[in-house]
Amino acid sequence: METSQELQQTGSVDAGLGVVVVAAGRSTRMGGTDKTFADVHGRPLVAHTLRRLAGSRSVTRIALVVADDAVARAEAMIAECRIDKVVAVCAGGARRQDSVYAGLLALGDCQWVAVHDGARPCITGDVMERGLAAARRWSAAVAAVPVKDTIKVVGDDDVVASTPERSTLWAAQTPQVFDYRLLMRAHRSATADYTDDATMVEALGHAVRVFMGSYENLKVTTPEDLVFVSQLLAEPDGNDGKIP
């Protein structure tokens, strides 16, 4: 297995943090609403995500991945909202990992890469800073938060099968941050379907750490999520998309 130091020897590539923003999902739990372009305070949801990322000192460039029939709309949105640091907009694939891989290719070679959900618009500068620091130290790390609720594993007939120790449980979020070459190798080696990039890197035998995310770093999955995220973005210094 390559060490972190070996992975960092990438020559003259961009040493900043590139970000692949994945927004190519079907929004199946949104009741017919396309969450990517859902209006939030006069801007599409994904525009808030992009503006916050673009405002981060850690981020040098961004590739946005959307559904194949939304590429032109996304390009027009970026131009209208004047979102800098977006270097590419590309179409996603049938699976999430196909979309991420397309984004990695569009982003181009860089030292460190973060994969972030387009439907997590409340990302903060602190989380991005912690993510970059974690990538530099370990080459693979995931934003996560300790779970607050007791978790039950439920089997057939709604019978509780077990109750895991809560202190060991973390809820994974994005960004997930990696050495770019490591993540590319994981994608090119993948022989199964994966729900996130960390699991794909784990399949290589590479350790993945967690770093502290944010309980407000919510993913919009249902209409109720959209209402709550809208309230968070309406707070002072939230609606302008800037990050300290």
Name residue, tokens 């809560």. Answer: 166
- Whether residue 96 lies inside any domain: the answer is yes
Residue 126 pLDDT greater than 50, yes or no: yes
- Whether residue 1 lies inside any domain: the answer is no
- Whether residue 7 lies inside any domain: the answer is no
Query: Chain-wide mean pLDDT for the chain?
Result: 89
Q: What is the pLDDT of residue 25?
A: 72
- Whether residue 239 lies inside any domain: the answer is no
- Whether residue 238 lies inside any domain: the answer is no
- Given the DSSP bridges, would you call strands 160-162 and 153-154 parallel, antiparallel or unpaired? antiparallel
Q: What is the pLDDT of residue 241?
A: 40
Residue 126 structural domain: 14-233
Q: What is the pLDDT of residue 51?
A: 96
Q: Which of these, 52, 47, 46, 215, lies nearest to 143 by C-alpha position?
A: 215
- Whether residue 8 lies inside any domain: the answer is no
Mean pLDDT across 127-149 = 97
Give the model confidence (pLDDT) of 18-70 as tens digits. Answer: 999 999 976 555 555 678 999 999 999 999 999 999 999 999 999 999 999 99
- Whether residue 118 lies inside any domain: the answer is yes
- Whether residue 243 lies inside any domain: the answer is no
Domain count within the chain: 1
Q: What is the pLDDT of residue 35?
A: 86
188-210 burial, b at 16+ Cβ within 10 Å, e below that, comes to eebeeebebbbbbbeebebebeb
pTM of the model: 0.89
Q: What is the torsion angle, in degrees rounded to the nearest 10, for the CA atoms of residue 8, residue 91, residue 76 and residue 52?
A: -40
State the pLDDT confidence band at 6, using cuts at 50, 70 and 90: very low
Residue 242 pLDDT greater than 90, yes or no: no
Name residue, tokens 């960092």. Answer: 8
What's 154's domain CATH number? 3.90.550.10
Q: How many CB atoms lie within 10 A of CB 59?
A: 23
